[in-house]
Amino acid sequence: MNKNFFIAGISGAIIFAAVLHTNVSAQIVITSVGTPESIDFTGFDGSGFTPAPDDGQLSSNTWEVTGFSDGNVLFGDEGTTGDFARGTTIGGETEGGIYAATYGGDVALMLQPVDDDFTPGSLTLRIKNGSGTEIEQLDIDYLLYNFNDQDRSSSLNFSYSNDNISFTDVPSLNYTSPETGDFSLFFEFKNASLTGISIPDGEVFYLRWTGDDVSGSGSRDEFALDLIYVTAVDPGDIPAVSFSTDAITVNESDLSADFAIQISSSSDCSANISVGAASTASDGTDYSFSLVSPVVFLSGGDMIQFQSMDLLEDTEDEADETLIIEIDDVTGTCEIGTSSTITITIIDNDETVIPAVDIIDVHGENGNGICTSIGELVSITGIVYGINLSDDGLEFTLIDETAGISVFNAAEDFGYTVTEGDELNVIGTIAQFNGLTQIIPNNLSVLSSGNALESPVDVSDLDESTESDLVVTNSYWIVDPAQWLGDGSTFNVEMINTVNSTIIIMRIDNNTDISNMPPPPPNQIAPAFITITGLGTQADVSSP
C-alpha cells in the first residue's frame, strides 16, 4: 500500500495518501508463517499511549517510548499528555514529542526531536509469536521518511531483541539525515531479513528504532514511520508472491488508490499481473492506470512494491465499481501466494439528484395506456384529498395545480396520519396498478395544514382525465339497489349514465362513513338522479 508524499507550502507540510486500514491499538500477533502482519497507523490521532487505548491512541502493551523530557512510557504504562500526545500535524513542528502526521485521514507516527526529547531516545514495538511454531527468520519492512528542514544531522537506527535488554543492530536499516537543511522530503521503503533468530511459540520479540544527534547544531529534522510489515519466514519455504491484502475500498473523491505486491522472503522473482475480466470499472472513465508488469523482485532488494492509479472524479450517480488485479504467473525462485487477487472497490460519491416535478408531468402514457414515467424517482408537492383507504399503510390522493395522483404504500405509513388539507412533499417512485398511476413514497413531509380544497369538477362521464381528481356528477343513478350493502364493508355499486348509458363503478370504502349508511331513498334511485362527489380512480381487472 503506497503513500504519496509531497511538500506543500513554505512550512514544508508533509502530506499523506493511503488506503489500508489497520487497528493501531491492537498488538501485532504473528498467526502463521508466510503471512505478513502490518501496522499503518490508521485511526491514530496523536493522543498518546495507554494499556486500554481509546480511539486515536496507541497501546502501551505494544509500544514503548523512552528519552523524552516528560519521562518514559514503558510497556503497560500510560502517557496521554505532553511529549507523548502532541496531537495531529501536517509537519513543520518545533515542539518535541510524538505526533500523528496526518492529511486527508491518512496517518503516520512522527517523531520531533529537540534538546531534551529523543536525543537519544527509542521507540520499541513488541510483537508476539502466535504461529504455533518456532520462528527462525523474520522479514521486516517499513516506510521511513525524513523532512530535512534543519541544519543538523540526526539518525534513526534499527535493532531487535528477544528480551528488551540486549539488542542486535541491523546496519542496513540505519538512516542518517543530511546536515544541511534543504526543506526536502526523503522517503524510503526499508527492509531486511532477520536470520538466525529464535522466537518460541507464545513468546514476544522486540523491534526498536533509536534516534540521536549526529552532527551540526540548532533544531532537528522530523522522522516518521508507517506501513510496518512483519513476516515470519520458514528458511526452507519457497518465497511466495502475493498482494498485501485481498481487498481495499476507496472513495471516488480520493483521487488516487494504491496497492502493494510483496514477496514473502528475499529472492529473484518476476510476477506478471493483469486487470481481471470481472472488473466493472473502466480505464479512462473511472480511473487512469498504467499497470507495471512484470513486477521484479531481486535478492537483497525491496520485498514490497507499490503501484498507484488515479481515480477520475465525475458527477454521475452510479453504482460502486471494482477494479480487480490478478497475479497471472511467476518466474524465478518463487511461487504465487494465497492472496493472488486484489479487488479495489471505488465508492461513488455523487448524490442522487431527485427532480421536483408537477404531477401532470408523470401522467404521460403510451399507445397501450402504460405510464411512461414508471420507475422514475421524483419529488412532488400537493394537497391531501380524502381519507386513508389503507388499513396498514397509506392510500390517499394528492393534488397540485396541474393534476392528482394516488399515494400508495402497502406497509409503511411513515408516522403520518392522513389529514385532508395537509400540504405534503412526497419523494418516491412512479408506478402503475391496473391503469392507476401511483407514487410509492420513500419519504414524505408535512409542509402546512388546513389548506383550502379546490371545488369539484362537474363531469358527466369518467375517463383518464378524471383520474385522481375531485369530481361531482348528477348524471347517474343506481342500477341495482341490492348492491348497496351498507354493512361497514367495502363494496361496489354500478351506476348508469343517463345520457349515454355508460356504466361506471362507484366504490364505497370501509374507511368511509358512507359504508355504514343505508342506500339512498327510492326517490333518489331510478329514475331520479343522485349527486356523487368523490375522487376519480381506476380499478381495471387487467394491466394497464
Q: How far is CA 538 from CA 366, 367, 472, 484, 505, in A?
A: 17, 17, 16, 20, 10
Residue with cell 454521475: 316
By C-alpha distance, which of 333, 366, 282 is closest to 543? 366
Question: In this structure, how many other beta carbons lie within 10 angstroms of the beta carbon of residue 413?
Answer: 16
Task: For residue 510, give the 3-state DSSP assignment.
Answer: coil
What nine digits make up the cell of 429? 417512485
Sign for the pseudo-dihedral over CA of 78, 199, 202, 337: positive
Q: What is the CA radius of gyration of the chain?
A: 37
Per-residue tens of pLDDT for the chain, all 544 residues: 333 332 222 222 222 323 333 455 567 899 998 888 988 898 899 999 999 999 999 999 999 999 999 999 999 999 999 999 999 998 888 999 999 997 555 689 999 999 999 999 999 999 999 999 999 889 999 989 888 889 999 999 999 999 999 999 999 899 999 998 888 778 888 988 887 799 999 999 999 999 999 999 999 999 999 989 999 988 777 889 999 889 988 887 777 888 899 998 888 899 999 999 998 888 877 788 888 899 999 988 889 999 888 888 765 666 788 889 999 988 887 889 888 999 999 887 656 678 999 999 998 888 888 889 899 999 999 999 988 988 889 999 999 999 999 999 988 999 999 999 999 999 999 999 888 899 999 999 999 999 999 988 888 767 777 788 888 877 778 888 889 898 989 999 888 887 788 888 888 888 888 889 888 765 555 555 677 787 877 766 555 5
User: Are residues 426 and 380 in contact, defined by beta-carbon separation less than 8 angstroms?
Assistant: yes
For residue 317, the model assigns a pLDDT of: 60
Reported as half-sphere exposure (CB side, CA atoms, 13 A), residue 363 has a value of 18
Residue 360 is given by DSSP the state: G
For residue 22, the model assigns a pLDDT of: 40
With a CB cutoff of 8 Å and minimum separation 6, the contacts of 528 are 477
d(CA 327, CA 339) in angstroms, rounded, equals: 9
d(CA 312, CA 424) in angstroms, rounded, equals: 39
Phi, then psi, of 516 in degrees rounded to 5: -100, 0
Residues listed for the chain? 544
For residue 13, the model assigns a pLDDT of: 29
For residue 299, the model assigns a pLDDT of: 86
d(CA 319, CA 311) in angstroms, rounded, equals: 15
Amino acid at 57: Q
What nine digits make up the cell of 350? 455523487
Whether cis (ω within 30° of 0) applies to the bond prior to 518 is no
By C-alpha distance, which of 377, 393, 359, 507 is closest to 429? 377
| pTM of the full structure | 0.47
Residue 128: its H or E element? strand 121-129
Amino acid at 278: A
For residue 134, the model assigns a pLDDT of: 92
Q: How far is CA 493 from CA 36, 210, 467, 515, 540, in A?
A: 77, 93, 18, 11, 15
User: Are residues 382 and 469 in contact, defined by beta-carbon separation less than 8 angstroms?
Assistant: no
Amino acid at 33: V
Residue with cell 341495482: 480
Amino acid at 108: A
Q: Which domains can be identified in the chain, with CATH numbers? A: 6-232 (2.60.120), 240-261+269-347 (2.60.40.2030), 359-448 (2.40.50.140), 457-535 (no CATH)
Whether cis (ω within 30° of 0) applies to the bond prior to 481 is no
